[in-house]
Amino acid sequence: MVRYDREPYFSRVDDYVRVTMDTRIRAQAMDKWTFTAPPRNWRALDDGVTMKSPESLIVLELKFTTQVPLWLHNIVERLDLTRRSFSKYGTSIKAFYGAMDARTCRFAGGWR
């Protein structure tokens, strides 16, 4: 189960750009299908140790419907932001179960 705090920004005039910031990204392994999780079992996924980075992670998503508006492009350049991919779910799987080996055992088909 993955949980995070989202801070969304959007225009009340039009819908061509939306900005969200996800922080306090955390997860816990679940042994059954439920939305009720023990409060003490959450593990941080955005900390410096997990991300092998000196800073904590904030996931900033810039979403637009057609092309990047010039004003948004200028902000990204001014702040020297770097484009990276980050999967909250994928990071939680790696945190709890380790990186998947390229050769994984399939239940019916053996090693691939």
pTM of the model: 0.72
Nearest to 86 by CA among 64, 59, 67, 56: 59
Residue-level pLDDT at 11: 82
Rounded mean pLDDT of 4-16?
88
pLDDT confidence tier of residue 38, bands split at 50, 70 and 90: confident
In 10 A of CB 57, how many CB atoms? Answer: 19
CA atoms within 13 Å, Cβ hemisphere of 44? 12
Residue-level pLDDT at 112: 43
Model confidence over 51-101: pLDDT tens digits?
677 766 889 999 988 888 898 999 999 999 888 888 899 888 888 887 554
In 10 A of CB 25, how many CB atoms? Answer: 25
